[in-house]
A and B are shown apart, each in its own frame.
Chain A
Amino acid sequence: MLKTFTKGGVHPAECKYSASSAIENLPLPKKVSIPLAQHIGAPSKPVVQKGDKVKVGDIIAESAGFVSANIHSSVSGTVSKIDNVLDSTGYKKPCVIIDVEGDEWNEKINQSTDLKKEISLTDKEIIQKINQSGIVGLGGATFPSHVKLSIPDGKKIDVLIINGVECEPYLTSDHRLMLEKSEEMLVGIQILMKAVSVNRAIIGIENNKPDAIEHLSGLVKNYPGIEVQALKVKYPQGGEKQLIKALIKREVPSGGLPLDVGAVVHNVGTAFAVYEAVQKNKPLFERVVTVTGKSVKKPSNFMVRIGTPVSELIEAAGGLPEDTGKVISGGPMMGKALNALEVPITKGTSGILILPEEMANRKPENNCIRCAKCVSVCPQGLEPYLLNKLSQLEKNDILEKNGVMDCIECGSCAFTCPAGLPLLDYIRLGKSRVSRIIRSRKQ
């Protein structure tokens, strides 16, 4: 019997079309726009000016606080301007725009592809290095990694959990990374283990990736302390709290963090980025992005420089299909529809999903029939129908009491609702209102 989380969950069609396409390097774009706000927390402060020459890996924006991250140039060339550009948030946000000239890397970066196993840095130095390299959670939430690794006094961590679940349908970027960069990733995990000083790490992988499970199970024999655990396929297993429940049977308390149950969770992509930053001195300026969809000619996984426009990726995957109805940044469950194809790829973009017209539209909205399907699928044990109604009525105090802040916005409720209600939209609205109230209360 395979492990999984207990409460709720859904089974959307997997549609992993790009699972067998190896990671390709995307040709360099002519121009990149690198957003200054690519992570959770304060937007970074630009340290370059118009006309400055930059090399690949040069710092272009500095972290603006503890919860923030450095941003590095992903190309070499000239900064043409710092301007507001439409990004995947749907709004115009400040971006550093660089005209690409050649591909000259910063001298400090070790460009060799040899595997470097020895970890020479101490735990403090590792966290500092990760902070400098601008690494954020690459699973999609983009939370600055050094914050997660800085364990506050009085908390005890006994296990590091590595998220290789990739429960979102369609996406395969983590899957390919686990197959192709497995050794690097495992060294990355060892570095992370050293940073939080634990001697046990578990890689959780869903059972729909048997090749990855087999491949990594073979390799981990050389890496003491690391184990691979196959998991039953169920969405949203990639959620931090669900993964902890599935792997080590601990429940993160309401309003708590994984730290409170002695665990730290990192994505496989983050582990690979940590390896490159610590062992090869290479900051985070590129990531694997899946370009996929039912009618996409060549579903692919690309190694993409941050700031590349989405249109270039679609071009490389065989162009935009004629019957396109929606282009989504991220997966179909939690991703966000784009309103323009010129938006840049950011650190948090795990995939570009192109849905044909017939799949793009929502179900027509009907009345709630009190079937309680949303309640039974909610992985957090909430009552989505109730939160939806309370949010519409702006009953913020009752919303808070009913645990709206525990919602992980996985969208299982809206996915399963037979009446086609936009449950998550309203819950998210209520959540943002309640979090504003909580913040003002603290001040």
Chain B
Amino acid sequence: MSTTILFTIISLSAIGGGAAIILYFVAQKFKVYEDPRIDQVEEALPGANCGGCGYPGCRGFAEALVKTDDISELNCPVGGNETMSTIAKILGKEVEAREPLVAVVRCSGSPEHRKRVNQYDGASSCAISSSLYAGETDCQYGCLGLGDCVDACDFDAIYMDKKTGLPVVIDDNCTACGACVKACPNDIIELRKKNKKDRKIFVSCINQDKGGIARKACRVACIGCGKCVKVCPFDAITMENFLAYIDPVKCKLCRKCVTECPTGSILEINFPPRKVKEDTKNAKSEPKKVSEKSENNSSTQNK
């Protein structure tokens, strides 16, 4: 009886030992070396797997960071400078501080400004609507209002305003991953420099039609009059295809262009209210409306 037990123990141990030796050599032979820094870097990343860096998830990005020598081109928009400097420390590489960015919706064509001329009853997707026709209004550049950008956002940073039918970005949540920019078939959303106190000045229009056609389609369209280009003291505004564009780097937020714009297509957001004196000087009604509107915007965003 005891010999059976003994025999069993000895034979099993021998098999176990033999297998262990074989496995050891196999493991040595087929060893896959993985840089331990990849795990460290992945830990430092936010783990949102949003793809904002252009790589498939945070793991993929971590691998790319470890493999490439010069990581100044790579950036995690979600983690921002803090994350990137931590990673640079882990890897012993250098990285420059980047300006934080925020998504900006460049269309103000709410139903009160932009008349609906037909009704779309197809699938609720901007991509499909844009493949079929130019949209419910006469403006073939503006927001289609079906919310592909909202679906694309992983951070709850964008929602459709029911009143205006336009998407609104919540600056505090926006990580500038660029998912909405890619999702928008009309390229309305742009990533712009994030200024102090979330202040923004931008041309809220991308209509490239001639002034008359643009204005007919939408009351707050950029008509390409060029007044803002002339008034800008910093040469930050350029005009191309009847459309003004404010360079976010050159712009010093002086707000001169906002009052100059005859259609009110340049928006100022999160600024303190203007002094009354200035308002009476520029007695035009529309710029005033814009400043009121921007105040409203800022108040909703603060809430």
Contact = CB atoms under 8 A, between A and B. Distances in A.
A75 B41 CA distance: 70
A89 B140 CA distance: 12
A432 B125 CA distance: 15
Contacts of B134: 86, 90-92, 339
A15 interface: no
B226 to A, nearest CB: 22
A297 to B, nearest CB: 24
Contacts of B133: 89-91, 336, 339
A425 B140 contact: no
B236 interface: no
Interface in A79-122: 86, 89-92
B127 interface: yes
Contacts, number: 38
B121 interface: yes
A428 interface: yes
B136 to A, nearest CB: 8
Contact of B132 (A90, A92, A361): A90
B117 A422 contact: no
Given A91-B140, A92-B140, A361 B121 contact: yes
Given A91-B133, A91-B140, A429-B128, A339 B121 contact: no
B122 interface: yes
Contacts of A90: 132-134
B131 A428 contact: yes
A90 B135 CA distance: 8
A391 to B, nearest CB: 10
Given A91-B140, A339-B117, A362-B121, A426 B128 contact: yes
Interface in B265-291: none
Interface string A303-346: 00000000000000000000000000000000010011000000
Contacts of A432: 131
Contacts of A426: 123, 125, 128
Contacts of B2: none
Contact of B118 (A89, A339, A425, A428): A339
Interface in B111-168: 117-118, 121-123, 125, 127-128, 131-134, 140
Contacts of A336: 132-133
Nearest to B118: A339
Contacts of A361: 121
Interface residues on A, range: 10 to 19
A89 B118 CA distance: 15
B117 A425 contact: no
B79 to A, nearest CB: 25
Contact of B122 (A86, A91, A422): A422
Interface in B47-80: none
B144 to A, nearest CB: 12
Contacts of B121: 361-362
B192 to A, nearest CB: 26
A429 B132 contact: no
Contacts of B128: 422, 425-426, 428-429
A429 B122 CA distance: 13
A92 B133 CA distance: 10
Interface in A351-388: 361-362
Nearest to A424: B123
Contacts of B125: 425-426, 429
A437 B118 CA distance: 33
A362 B123 CA distance: 10
Name, among A336, A361, A422, the residue most crowded by chain B CB atoms within 10 Å (CB to CB).
Answer: A422
A90 B122 CA distance: 14
Interface string A61-92: 00000000000000000000000001001111
A219 to B, nearest CB: 42
Nearest to B151: A392
B293 to A, nearest CB: 29
A385 to B, nearest CB: 14
Nearest to A84: B209
Contacts of A429: 125, 127-128, 131
A332 to B, nearest CB: 15
A89 to B, nearest CB: 7
Contacts of A425: 122-123, 125, 128
A426 B134 CA distance: 18
B121 to A, nearest CB: 5
A421 to B, nearest CB: 9
B153 to A, nearest CB: 15
A426 B127 CA distance: 9
Interface in B159-181: none
Nearest to A432: B131
A91 B186 CA distance: 13
Contacts of B132: 90, 336
A90 B123 CA distance: 16
A423 B260 CA distance: 48
A307 B116 CA distance: 26
B55 to A, nearest CB: 17
A384 to B, nearest CB: 14
A326 to B, nearest CB: 9
Contacts of A91: 133-134, 140
Contacts of B117: 339-340
B103 to A, nearest CB: 20
Contacts of A86: 134
Contacts of B140: 91-92
Nearest to B136: A339
A95 B135 CA distance: 20
A22 B140 CA distance: 39
B31 to A, nearest CB: 32
A336 B117 CA distance: 17
A37 B149 CA distance: 31
A203 to B, nearest CB: 34
A69 to B, nearest CB: 23
Nearest to A392: B125
Q: What are the 8 closest A-B residue pairs judged by CB atoms, nearest first?
A: A90-B133, A422-B123, A425-B123, A339-B118, A425-B128, A91-B134, A90-B134, A339-B133
10 contacts: A91-B134, A336-B132, A339-B133, A339-B134, A361-B121, A422-B128, A425-B125, A426-B125, A429-B127, A432-B131
Given A91-B134, A422-B122, A422-B128, 12 more contacts: A86-B134, A90-B133, A90-B134, A91-B140, A92-B140, A339-B133, A425-B128, A426-B128, A428-B128, A428-B131, A429-B125, A429-B127
Interface of A: 86, 89-92, 336, 339-340, 361-362, 422, 425-426, 428-429, 432
